[in-house]
Structure 1
Amino acid sequence: MLINNSFWNLFIWGVYPVVIPIFIKNEIGDSPIIFFLFSSLLSLGIVVGSLLISKLKVKSNRKIIDFSIVAHGIIFFIIGISNNEFFFLLLALFFGIISVPAMIFSKTYIQENIPEQNQGAIFSLFYSFSTAGYPLGLALSGFIINVIGVKYTIIILSMILIVAVTFSIIIRGVYENIKQAN
């Protein structure tokens, strides 16, 4: 979970602040209103997602966390190939909604599955790994945009996130099967 959250912050949240304003200017339409609406709909999506999550009976589930991160990568990929203002703004809403399970459940998962005496150390590692990805993502995306352009930066980095998290899910499943066999 620590690694997946680090990748998530590296390839989504660390990339988003750099690429979205440039993407809007180059691909959607050079309008501050579009950026304002995207940011507002993203925030609204996070609020809506939080309300939806509060209604669920499940309070933490690693599969939901992983699904949320992969789905977030897929939506980011679709943002990268979109060129319609309305569709782009609709994706902003979903971008916010789908991020919430990973945001909330990852912390709850630690609280529910890690002994209380170890939670301080685990939360410290969790936030250290997660927050390290953010500035690296900012620098990485800024560099890559200059090499391949904003559209391909979004597409490639979202694909890397999807593949990396999917690979970790597969490896975890194989490990669990081996553990059960012994």
Structure 2
Amino acid sequence: MVVETVVVALWAMGPAYIPNNAAVLAGGGAPIDGGRTMGDRRLLGDGKTWRGTGVGIVAGVAVAYLLNLVAPTVEAVGYGVPTFTPVVAFALAAGAMLGDILASFVKRRTGRERGTAFPLLDQLDFVVVSLGLVALLAPGWFTSVFTLPRLLVVLVATPLLHLLTNAGAYALGLKAEPW
């Protein structure tokens, strides 16, 4: 039962876990804020681009599609994993990107520069917004998939996964900082 809870929780978050990583790989281009400032600080900074955001959302939706394709195999092993409707796939992926963008805005407003660590916000921004967007756009799917034990798994596992993937991206030279 515990293993299935973990598997389903991480599976259900798959389309939200991928977008920010894809955005790092495909980033560059025009910044979303167009260089605008609020006071003496950029709204978001050069790290939040239209291309990265678009690629991130497409990557998250693609992951949902791929997970739907392999779901019967995983279910044959004995785990009842959810499938993703187009609305759910989009909400998870777009919510992840929007959460990262909002976190960037908060970081700028609190005086933090690009790449500066902001514990918990850095690890859970995309989770909170993607889950909120799914709850808003697909409430039945959200309540059937994200039970309290699964939400707890997501809240505990995500910061650990986030730190590991960012450390890997840093080691590969894809990120300027390891967090």
Q: TM-score, normalised by structure 1?
A: 0.29
Q: Which has the higher contact order (CA 8 A, sep 6+)?
A: 1
TM-score, normalization by structure 2: 0.29
